[in-house]
Amino acid sequence: MILPIYLYGADVLRNENKDADLNDKEAILKLIEDMKETLKVADGCGLAAPQVGVNLNVVIVDGRELTETYDYLHDFFRVMINPVVLEESEETCEYSEGCLSVPGVYAEVRRPAKIKVEYYNENFEKVVEEFDRFGCRMVQHELSHLEGNLFVDNISPIRRKMIARKLQAISKGSVQTRYKSKR
């Protein structure tokens, strides 16, 4: 089922999230399937459960459509249940980010260049994986949602001031999306 994506200003994006109950596999797999369908229709590269109104620690990241720019992402698709960042590099890098919950807004965000994450995949197997380059960026962006943070929380004050009107319009519902959305 295609779910609405909650937009900037919606409380669900800032609420505390809890770990998914690994004993309730059927519910988790249904959520993941719905998130996959929603992401495909929205034409994004990642989605966190809070973005579809569910305050659970579940994300999906899909870089396969970005291979024209980042050829190493040709098979980059991850489902992450209850992810935990184990390590972050001191080295950082900056990329322009956007978000389905903040449509039409893009900004440079500085994040660690490499991270190590422990999570359960959609087969409920524990995985420990290191990420770098743009795959790392996508994973960090989605994991931030699980902490109630949006990429616009991590931009410079001057840039934030420059986009304040856009953010206000989004939070008031004065924005159109090409996908099903909700305020």
Instruction: Based on the residue annotation, tell me whether 130 is a catalytic residue of this protein.
Output: no
For residue 81, give the nearest of 40, 9, 30 by alpha carbon. Answer: 30
> How far apart, in Å, do the first and last CA atoms of the chain sit?
19
Which residue in 33, 125, 142, 147 is the catalytic one? 142
Smallest CA-to-CA distance from 168 within 102, 117, 123 is with 102
Q: How many CB atoms lie within 10 A of CB 23?
A: 9
Signed CA dihedral, 138, 139, 141, 146: sign only: positive
Catalytic residues: 142
